[in-house]
A and B are shown apart, each in its own frame.
Chain A
Amino acid sequence: MKTFKTIAVGAAFAALFSTTAMAACGIESGRVSIVGNEFPAIQSIAAAAAACAGGDVTVESNLTADHQKINVAGMSGDPAEYTTAVVANSSIVALINEDVIRPLDDLVAKHGQDIPKHQLITVDGKIMAVAFMANAQHLVYRKDILEKIGMDAPTSYEEMLAAAAKIRREGILDYPVGGAYKAGWNLAQEFTNMYIGTGGDFFEPGTANVSINNENGIAALEMMKALTAYMNPDYLTHDSNATNAEVEAGNVALLNMWGSRTGNLMDDEGAEEDVYSNIAVGGPLMVGGSGRPATTLWWDGWTVAKNISDEDAEATFLAMKAGISPDMLNDETMSQAVWLMPNFEASPVNEGVLATVAASATPYPMVPFQGLLHTALGDNIADFLKGDETAKQTLADIEAAYTVAATEKGFLK
């Protein structure tokens, strides 16, 4: 309920200020059409951008969970159906690979001098997107349970295992560890985190040759398996929604969870008082001794389509700039994300993401073929966790599956 009120109020605000916003947008004419995911933060941005509409300016948006399946097709036509796509650092790659978005340097020079430099995403020196929010996975824990066993919040997966063992030994919870280990995208993401934490590199530098079949790969898999021993046996079916449900039911005390989902855990809906009031967030977890946090940093940002007129591109840039302007942050929208705008005020929920940024964690790799590896990881790791094959075999399978896919896409000969 609450979130919906939020959006409704956000939209109402946007409508109220639309007259002033129109002047502020500074667009005379043009077509703006947004495609993106449907979570509340993006809804707020689209609403703020929509306030630029009027006169010869049209602003439409298509925010859907299927955005990744339609954005390339919708931007390939000439003129493109969508003038802007809201993407993350993983999904911008597909748009760059297909060459459907344009560099923004000229537009930034003309209209975007006030956009803080850290919000500009550059690839090879060219500005390709403007980021507006950050996200990361980090520790979330039950402080009452850790107090009960007399341990501090873990800072590494090794400590997490020790705490989990103690919680189980003392009979507090059977399955104290949680995690989005659902086979497919989620599981691949957890491996990506863990592998980065061990200090491994996914590819041989400068090439598309995968290189995960090594000591780091095995260490990452072994740690994942060790963690699953303390997870609900159904872990291979648990995405972040199901994992959160476990936490809210009071069945989980320690987990690595998305910063964007912790608000849900700490509010007073869906759980008993002694559960939600005891949820706390920590920083990123480490693994082994590499000194690199076992997590990835994510940003969400917007791009501008290539196959559109300069007029539409300019209108789109200005409308989206208005959409992420510091003015759009108000009491309602402030809590929707870890915004990158300078006037963002963090609340306790956001501390995990901020700590992860502060720990200089690695951004999720913006590599043209990372998506192919991600798919191959998601398809094969479950076999190892189920105990059907050795870590070596699983890593070999992943490499083989990736190599075939990368050859088909022309990344490998």
Chain B
Amino acid sequence: MKHSSFFWFVLPSALLMLLFIALPIVSVVTQSLYTAHEQVIVEVENCGPFGCTKSTAIDQEATETLRAAEPLGKFAGLDVYTDRNHLAISEVGTLWVESDGLPDFGSALMNLPFYKAMGFTLSYTAIVTPLTIILGFMIALAINSVAKVFRGPTIFFSLLPFIITPLVGSLVLFWMVDARGILGTGLQWLSGDPTLSVKASTGLMWAMLMTYGVWHSAPFAFVVFYAGLQTVNQDTIEAALIDGASRWERIRYVVIPHLTPLVTFVALIQLMDNFRVFEPIISFSAEAHATSLSYAIFNDLGGETRLLSSAAATSVLTIVGVAILLSPILVRTYRDFGK
């Protein structure tokens, strides 16, 4: 394809992405390198319906001159990235020297917000991604063997976890897993422990978030794999059958290789989405037990005083994290490209 026609064909997409994704990324990266100006603080008296109190306020006039001189803020370089609320380079260094033994170092590391978030995010990604793919594949195989008339409704019901808006989907689920909700009571009955409460224990909370993650995204994997199953070459299957291949061998040596490219596609999307896990944490009120990078951003932007630079730095770290996570797949795509 000629360069010029390529240009005109991708122009609309490129323009949209440039304006609404690339430019914001540039501004976010810039933001993450700057912090706010030093604020001039003065003591003031505040009065209101409940009387007067001594307090502090920002001296706007004094601060104004600083702001006008450097509208972007104070250049901080990578300071925000390395501070305690992010990579915490110096804190980790100190811990490494002071801790006795790896387990001690590990638990102290988990006390730092960034590493605590990474601990959960990486476990979540590592567990949910493969389970989603396996469950999706099994559902696809199972539905593939259902009589045709029933396929429409089965597909719809299988898609439900994916299409119900998480906002209320989890409101209902949150109630269900409550110690007195239907699932919570069921779990207590199953485990024989009447005091069991999913929401009270970190371990169970993680398990629940991961179960929800698999439940929510398995339908996506299922749709993709189900479609792939429709095109498995029947001749190859027949040939394998004649060669005396068992059912499992046919799946192992014919169906799975055929689906590999789809697995790559699903893995790519799932790794990225799982790394940015956020909604389940909010929906299940799991903040006390699990945090993620996206949650940290939400927290920075949602407080009374918004921490823009901190949120920007965490966003950049998220992109870097995703890039590292996807690099093996991307290198392969690079090699295959143009073939």
A and B touch in the complex (CB under 8 A): yes
| Given A382-B287, A397-B111, CB of A368 within 8 Å of CB of B58 | yes
Bound-state Cα–Cα, A203 to B55, Å: 10
Which of A118, A122, A249, A409 is the most central at the interface, judged by chain B CB atoms within 10 Å of its CB?
A409
Partner of B39, one of A360, A385, A411: A411
A-facing residues in B153-195 (Cβ within 8 Å): 174, 178-180, 195
User: Which residue of B is nearest A340, CB measured?
Assistant: B49
Chain B residues near A68 (CB, 8 Å)? 302, 304
Q: Within residues 91 to 143 of chain A, which ones have a CB less than 8 A from any CB in chain B?
A: 91, 93-94, 96-97, 99, 118-125, 131, 134
Q: How far is the CA of A343 from the CA of B83 in the complex (A)?
A: 53
**B303 within 8 A of partner (CB):** yes
Contacts of A362 on B, CB cut-off 8 Å? 53
Bound Cα distance A368, B46 (Å): 12
> Bound state CA distance, A42 and B195, in angstroms?
42
Q: Kindly specify which of A256-264, A278-286, A369-377 makes contact with the partner chain.
A: A369-377
Answer yes or no: B292 CB below 8 A from chain A CBs.
no
Q: Which segment of A2-10, A326-334, A399-407 sits at the interface?
A: A399-407
Beta-carbon contacts of A381-408 to B below 8 Å, as 1s and 0s? 0110110010001000100110011011
12 residue pairs from A and B, CB less than 8 Å apart? A203-B56, A205-B43, A208-B56, A371-B304, A372-B304, A382-B287, A382-B289, A401-B85, A401-B113, A409-B39, A410-B38, A410-B74
Asked whether B48 lies within 8 Å of A408 as measured between CB atoms, the reply is no
Q: Which residue of B46, B197, B200 contacts A366 across the interface (Cβ within 8 Å)?
A: B46
Q: Tell me whether A408 and B287 are in contact (CB under 8 A).
A: no
Q: Which A residues touch B174, using CB under 8 A?
A: 237
Nearest neighbor of A234 in chain B, beta-carbon distance? B199
Task: Tell me the minimal C-beta distance from B113 to chain A in angstroms.
Answer: 7
Residues of A within 8 A of B258 (CB): none
Docked CA distance A239–B285 (Å): 9
Contact of A370 with B304 at beta-carbon distance under 8 Å, contacts A183-B288, A206-B41, A382-B288 already known: yes
Find the A residue at minimum CB distance from B174: A237
Task: Report the contact-size class of chain A (Cβ under 8 Å from the partner).
Answer: 35 or more
**Is A365 close to B, CB under 8 A?**
yes
Asked if A375 contacts B299 (CB within 8 A), the reply is yes
With A372-B303, A375-B303, A408-B309 known to touch, is A124 a contact of B44 (CB < 8 Å)?
yes
Contact at B41–A368, with CB atoms within 8 Å? yes
- Knowing A122-B47, A363-B53, A408-B36, say if A91 contacts B285 (CB, 8 Å): no
What would 8 more interface pairs be, CB under 8 Å, given A183-B288, A340-B49, A372-B303? Answer: A89-B48, A207-B56, A236-B289, A237-B174, A237-B284, A368-B56, A379-B299, A410-B37
B39 touches A410 (CB 8 A): yes
Distance in angstroms from A361 CB to nearest chain B CB is 8
> Looking at the complex, which one of B48, B54, B55, B195 makes contact with A233 (CB distance below 8 Å)?
B195
Interfacial chain B residues near A148, Cβ < 8 Å: none
Knowing A408-B80, A409-B39, A409-B305, say if A134 contacts B46 (CB, 8 Å).
no
CB distance from B101 to the nearest CB of A (A): 18
Q: Are B48 and A94 in contact (CB under 8 A)?
A: no
Chain A: minimal CB distance from B284 (Å): 7
A299 interfacial by beta-carbon distance below 8 Å? yes
Assembly CA distance A405 to B56 (angstroms): 18
Task: Check if A367 is an interface residue, CB within 8 A of chain B.
Answer: yes
In the bound complex, CA of A90 to CA of B58 (Å): 15
Contact pick for B50, options A91, A357, A370, CB 8 Å: A357
- Complex Cα gap A370–B42 (Å): 15
The verdict on A31 contacting chain B, using a C-beta distance below 8 Å, is no
Min Cβ gap B174→A in Å is 8
What 10 pairs across the A-B complex have the smallest Cβ distances?
A371-B304, A183-B288, A233-B200, A382-B288, A124-B44, A237-B285, A410-B36, A371-B305, A236-B288, A234-B199
Chain A proximity of B278: nearest CB distance (Å): 14
Query: Which B residues touch A413, using CB under 8 A?
Result: 38
Q: How many angstroms between the C-alpha atoms of A372 and B286 in the bound complex?
A: 21
Interface residues of B in 42-69 (CB under 8 A from A): 42-51, 53-58, 60, 64
Is the Cβ of A371 less than 8 Å from the Cβ of B303? yes
Query: B284 to chain A: which residues have CB within 8 Å?
Result: 237
Residue of A with least CB distance to B42: A124
Q: Mark B282-306, 1 if CB is under 8 A from A, else 0.
A: 0011111100000000011111111
Are B48 and A183 in contact, CB atoms less than 8 angstroms apart?
no
Contacts of B200 in A (CB 8 A): 233-234, 236
